[in-house]
Amino acid sequence: MEPFPGYLTAVRLKRDLVPGFDRYPVAIPAVRELDRLPLHPKVNFLIGENGSGKSTLLEAIAVKWGFNAEGGTKNFNFATRESHSELHDLLVLERSKFRAHDGFFLRAESFYNVATEIDQLSKLPGSRRPFIEYYGGESLHRRSHGEAFLALMNNRFRGDSFFVLDEPESALSPQRQMTALVVMHRLIADNCQFLIATHSPILLSYPDAWIYECGEAGLRRVAYEETQHFRLTKDFLTRHRQMLHHLLNDESAQGELGLE
């Protein structure tokens, strides 16, 4: 039996159609230097500083796949504010022979809008099964952000699916991030593929994953232990007193953090 190749095997930028690389969003290094980005069949992470382009690229891939720009499944078509770029028009998605039966695009910043849309769809007549039951039987608005996200993973996410998650850790405590890893692992065993933009060193630790760092030179694949997320977190936890003294009392250290 051949190994599961994932659903999305690579992403390419149609460079010949780019009118110019000096304006947003193609001016972002992660996009400007993009040619072809191979993807792992299980998990792929995009990391980088705020503004590095990871969420912009992730969103464009999600929209090109067919997801609603604000999140949800392919069947969601609401829009509260048109804020996504036209980058998806410049992308080519290379797909395997396998077809995902389902999927979900999660954006931390618009998760509230998705929960509202789920409530609205649950009020529509004619469904043999109440729509809200697919999400745990209770409005996601009645749960904390973290509880709502885990309810989504546990009840709506299923096998044979492609998931795109933008900073899912924003809703989760460290312990719940570990819970999310376990749920992800079960889904991956059931032929699921994940593409995740994150700052979480806990999520990044997943063993069967490729990590792409967005930087000034574009995208480069890095090992977990090479990421700033791992190194800074490890240094801080093992030497927190020294690091706090350095951060709070050294003006040069504050300058490195963008403070004046």
Topology of the domain covering 8-226 = Rossmann fold (3.40.50)
CATH 3.40.50 boundaries in the chain: 8-226
- Give the model's pLDDT for residue 137: 58
Dig out the tokens for 252 from the structure. 């040069």
Question: Which residues, in sequence order, are bridge partners of residue 152?
Answer: none
Judge contact between 136 and 167, C-beta under 8 A: no
Q: Give residue-wise pLDDT tens across range 46-102.
A: 999 988 899 999 999 999 999 988 878 787 765 555 555 789 999 999 999 999 999
Cβ neighbors of 47 (< 8 A, separation 6 or more) are 54, 197, 198, 199, 204, 211, 212, 213, 214, 227, 229
Question: Which residues, in sequence order, are bridge partners of residue 13?
Answer: 91
- Give the model's pLDDT for residue 259: 56
State the burial class of residue 18 (Cβ atoms within 10 Å of its Cβ: 0-12, 13-18, 19+): middle
Local structure of 117: helix, strand or coil = helix
Each residue's pLDDT, cut to its tens digit, for the chain (260 residues) gives 678 999 999 999 999 999 889 999 999 999 999 999 999 999 999 999 988 899 999 999 999 999 988 878 787 765 555 555 789 999 999 999 999 999 999 886 655 466 666 666 566 565 555 556 655 556 656 666 678 788 888 888 999 999 999 999 988 999 999 999 999 999 999 999 999 999 999 999 999 999 999 999 999 999 999 999 999 999 989 998 988 888 788 766 566 655 55
Taking the C-alpha atoms of 47, 53, 58 and 61 in order, what is their torsion angle to the nearest 10 degrees? -140
- Give the model's pLDDT for residue 7: 98
